[in-house]
Amino acid sequence: MTENVATTDNAVPPATRDGTRRRWWDRYSSTSPITLTVLALVLGVVIGAVIIMVTSATVLDAWRHSFHDVGSIGSTLKITFDNVAAAYRAMITGSVIDPTLLFHSISTGQGWTVTMTPLSETFTYATPLIIASIGVGIAFQTGIFNIGANGQAIMGGIAGTAVGSMIHVPMIIHLPLTLFAGIVGGAICGLVPGVLKAYTGAHEVIVTLMFNYVVNAILIYVLTATALQLPGQANGISRNFDASATLDPIFGVKSGLRVSYGIFVAAAVVVFAIWFLKRSSLGFDFRVTGANPHAARASGINPKFIILALFVVSGGLAGLAGLVQAASTTHYIDGGFLVGSAGIGFTAITIALLGRLQPMGIVWGSLLFAALGVGGRAMQAATGIPLDLATIIQSIVVLFVASPVLIKEIFHLRRGAQSFQMATKGWSS
Amino acid sequence: MRVELKGVTKRFGSFTANDQINLVVEPGQIHCLLGENGAGKSTLMNVLFGLLHADEGEILIDGQPVKFSNSGDAVRHGIGMVHQHFMLVPVFTAAENVVLGFEPTKSFNRLDHKTANAQIHELSQKFGLEVDPDAVVENLSVGLQQRVEILKALSHDAELLILDEPTAVLTPQEIEALMEIMRSLARDGKSILFITHKLKEVRAVADVITVIRQGRVIDSVPPTETEGRLASLMVGREVNLTVTKEATQLGEAVLELRDVVVRDDRGLAVVNGISFDVRAGEIVALAGVQGNGQTELAEAISGLRPVESGTISLRGRDITNLSPREILDAGLGHVPEDRQRDGLVLSMSVADNLILNTPRRAPFARRGTRNLTAVSSNAQDLVQRFDIRTSSIESTAGSLSGGNQQKVIVARELSRPLTCFMASQPTRGLDVGSIEYVHRQIVNQRNEGLGVFIISSELDEVVALGDRIAVIFAGKITGVVEPTTSREDLGLLMAGAAMASHD
């Protein structure tokens, strides 16, 4: 056993042969996590293209025609390419920036709102995702699989909405208080499974997963049977946030750009997470516990305390994400809040894994997912290709990132790419 | 059956684990493969057993080249292997384990227990390996479990038996019995490849000794070679096998145990009323066959396992059932038995591992914020002082060799103020060079007036290090004796014969 370990340990990287071509190849093939993710994205886009080809009526008609008239193969290929290109062009211009509009804005100084809307939307969608995914990422790094981020986000949304809509104080107090309420709501929601795990040994995956359903029910309850319900309404809908408790658009409501001060909250969370994991003593304890719970215990770390603290941090961040979502976009919550496809807490799990649990990786992952979502809508509007294509690409990216061996085979990479397995190990524990 | 390996080379990436290995095992020969951990012994055996494929070279059986694509092929060619970690199903009986995969069945695929038992009985008779076919394996002693493994290999008509580090888990008496079995199998014409890094055993049983170092065959020597010569062949330099100790001034008792009772995970009292003292300036070595309560005792002392009754105190302070944190802070240094499980975080850096149990202590952290500069300079200092071979302090602990991993733990524990230093199996799995180093560190601590408590199942280690030797059997101390006590007496104590006098 030890012998085998020692054997592989001694395996040193192959000596780099001379020539820059060789060096480039070595770097490319040494599969850094970033290379791997980019390649996964490339594969996702390629497979997406194939799906567009085989589902687009125009493309299929063209091919059918070519069967009878081989001479038209050139135009058929052109139609195929144009369709795919149009779809991806719409996706990119709809989520990042449209160069035509950009040049127009630069030359005339007008139309900036239209030009910047895609970017604004992408950041708007990414903001709560970043916060929630970092919460999930910290939990996963600690070896605790908090699958309850969505419930915690809803709870944060409920608590934050209550404070934001039912307490009336000046903004300087109100906004921080509302944000804090979001954190507390999520933390309390996280503590329930935390206590169950720490003191009864219940498995957190089951408890947190099930707790999501409990929270869904709580959401409906508070929206229909408590003072949080908008007065005079029979539907499940909450009161509106006070203006002093909302995260307003950075460029003003009139600008038409939705991107809000929420991104500063997300930025603060990112900075906090980087500091927390790298520089804080508690973060060190979290990482030790996640990497080796036995050694953690032997070196004096109290596992119960870590579980509780982790759920406070992770649940708190998820709660903050839910609150940011409500306070920056709708300014109220209803029965559909974060339910179903809007469940940022579930997307957060995927993004946390995609970002390899690292804060900066999560930022990029959130931006990618938000861009695919926003761009997918633009694509649907422009080309009629369903939004689901974006979801398919998202899923394929995650699928390939989760199977580094496959990527290595496809691109003939040599080694590395173990980092992801770290993130997903221990699901059975 | 004559087995020959010709020019076998096995590479992992650019690392050559086996380099042009030539080896011949004659029928009826006990051939010993001696080498340090990481020398390539297990790799070679895995190639021979079909678990790995050689990049070059060939395997000849009775002069015919053979190709094994898996271990099933090797078994069909008459090669059997007893792994270091037994491949038995603990809740099955001995007979069920032996027939596993080739079960005799009655109608409707029901297991035919009668035939199975008869087969085992016949095998046992034939080779003189007594095992109760109906005994459930988890209730058997380790030595008997090993017999079941050997029977299993023999049941497939193995002509060559590979024994991978078979003695690591046995008592001296069981080792003697195993050697007797090996000799009798050899008399019946079976060949045996015996893998080990223990010099005494090699000389006792082998017909031929092949020494492997860094993947190459260094030499083949007769068993009459001296231990010192074998050790230097193995390590590649002169090795000092004996530990020199000067007399020291004994101080106060630093670790006192009184009637300590500890239960294992199944609720059995595996430590059953143990009392002893460790005084400053002495090494007390706890000898015993693995599984007699040592693991649980060490866990109880370090706070990882509750003490049912009795008291444990550290320089007069009662530390019974305190948390691991409080016991660490009280000054207990602990090298855990399973260093990769309890002592290190393999995926984290050497620097972080060197402060693993003091991350909040000044200067490594202040008000919840870590001081990474202090962590690094501490690591630089310890890596130098304890000669830890690592490419960088930022390398992961998992990238180090076993010996260097142990050095990281020893360095960490000895770099903080201690009252008592406890080490469980401090040299398990280490090569001769690292053993020498760890022993010297332990003796140095004793010379500087620390109380040292060693738990080891290596009799050589116990005798070499201990100023006093306590022997544990079935959760009780069967005797506390001088290190000059004969090995036979120690062996008897380890097997449960109580001592009348001493203490």
Angle B23-B24-B26 (CA atoms, 0-180°, nearest 5)?
155
Res A25: pLDDT: 55
More confident of the two residues A293 and B240: A293
pLDDT in tens, A175-199: 999 999 999 999 999 999 999 999 9
Residue B487, pLDDT score: 83
- Size of the A and B interface in Cβ pairs below 8 Å: 117
Q: Report how far residue B27's alpha carbon sits from residue B191's, in angstroms, rounded to the nearest whole number.
A: 5
Q: What is the pLDDT along chain B (503 residues), one digit of tens a residue?
A: 899 999 999 888 777 888 999 999 999 999 999 887 777 888 898 899 988 888 999 999 998 999 888 888 888 899 999 887 788 888 998 888 888 877 788 877 787 888 888 888 888 888 878 888 888 988 887 788 888 988 888 888 889 999 988 887 677 778 888 898 899 899 988 999 998 877 888 888 999 999 998 889 989 999 888 888 888 888 777 776 677 787 778 889 999 999 999 998 888 899 999 999 999 999 999 998 878 899 999 999 999 999 999 999 999 999 999 999 999 999 999 999 888 889 999 999 999 999 999 999 988 999 999 999 999 999 999 999 888 888 899 999 988 877 889 999 999 999 999 999 999 989 877 777 788 888 988 999 999 889 999 999 888 889 889 999 999 988 999 999 998 888 888 888 887 776 544 44
Q: Please give the residue of chain B at the shortest CA–CA distance from A294.
A: B342
Q: Give ipTM to 2 decimals.
A: 0.80
Separation CA B127–CA B116 (nearest Å): 17
B101: left (phi > 0), else alpha (psi -120 to 50), else beta?
Answer: left
CB atoms A5 and B402 under 8 Å:
yes
Residue B14 three-state SS? coil
Q: What is the pLDDT of residues A128-153, one digit of tens each?
A: 999 999 999 999 999 999 999 999 99
Strand B451-456 vs strand B420-424: parallel, antiparallel, or unpaired?
A: parallel
Task: Give the integer Cα–Cα distance in Å for B172 and B487.
Answer: 8
**Lookup: tokens for A373:** 């979502």
A309 at B interface, C-beta within 8 A: no
What is the C-alpha to C-alpha distance for residues B433 and B236, in angstroms, rounded to an integer?
10
Residue A419 confidence (pLDDT) above 90? no
CB of A30 within 8 Å of a chain B CB? The answer is: no
pLDDT of residue A29: 55
| Option in B328, B348, B370 nearest A280 (CB) | B370
* CATH 3.40.50.300 placement within chain B: 3-235, 240-331+417-503
pLDDT of residue A89: 93
Among the listed residues B210, B149, B218, B220, the one whose alpha carbon sits nearest the alpha carbon of residue B178 = B149
* Average pLDDT of the residues of chain A: 86
On whether any CB of chain B is under 8 Å from the CB of A285, the answer is: yes
| Site from B36, B322, B357 to mutate, A interface, most A CB atoms within 10 angstroms | B357
Which chain A residues are closer than 8 Å to B402 by Cβ? 2, 5-6
Whether residue A297 lies within 8 A of chain B, CB to CB, comes out as yes
3-state secondary structure string across chain A? CHHHHHHHHCCCCCCCCCCHHHHHHHHHHCCCHHHHHHHHHHHHHHHHHHHHHHHCHHHHHHHHHHHHCHHHHHHHHHHHHHHHHHHHHHHHHHHCCCHHHHHHHHHHCCCHHHHHHHHHHHHHHHHHHHHHHHHHHHHHHCCCCCCCHHHHHHHHHHHHHHHHHHCCCCHHHHHHHHHHHHHHHHHHHHHHHHHHHHHHCCCHHHHHHHHHHHHHHHHHHHHHHCCCECCCCCCCEECCCCHHHCCCECCCHHHCCCCECHHHHHHHHHHHHHHHHHHEHHHHHHHHHHHCHHHHHHCCCCHHHHHHHHHHHHHHHHHHHHHHHHHHHHCCCECCCCCHHHCHHHHHHHHHHHCCCCHHHHHHHHHHHHHHHHHHHHHHHHHCCCCHHHHHHHHHHHHHHHCHHHHHHHCCCCCCCCHHHHHHCCCCC
Chain B residues within 8 A of A14 when measuring between CB atoms: 13-14
CATH of range B240-331+417-503; options 3.40.33.10, 3.30.70.20, 3.90.79.10, 3.40.50.300: 3.40.50.300
User: Is A281 within 8 Å of B42 when comparing Cβ atoms?
Assistant: no
Measured between beta carbons, the chain B residues lying within 8 angstroms of A287 are: 348
pTM: 0.78
- Find residues 10-29 of chain A whose CB sits inside 8 Å of chain B: 10-15
Report whether CATH 3.30.1370 matches the domain A119-370.
no
Residues in chain B with CB shorter than 8 Å from the CB of A12 are: 13-15
**Domain ranges, ordered by start, for chain A:** 119-370
| Spatial separation of the C-alpha atoms in residues B294 and B301, rounded to whole Å | 11
Residue in B15, B345, B400 nearest the CB of A295: B345
CATH number of B3-235: 3.40.50.300
Percent share of chain A, pLDDT over 70:
88
CA-closest candidate to residue A209, choices A159, A146, A262, A268: A146
Report the pLDDT value the prediction gives residue A13, as an integer from 0 to 100.
41
Alpha-carbon distance of A73 to A65, in angstroms, equals 9
Residues in chain B with CB shorter than 8 Å from the CB of A1 are 84-85
Residue A293: band (very low, low, confident or very high) from pLDDT cuts 50, 70, 90: very high
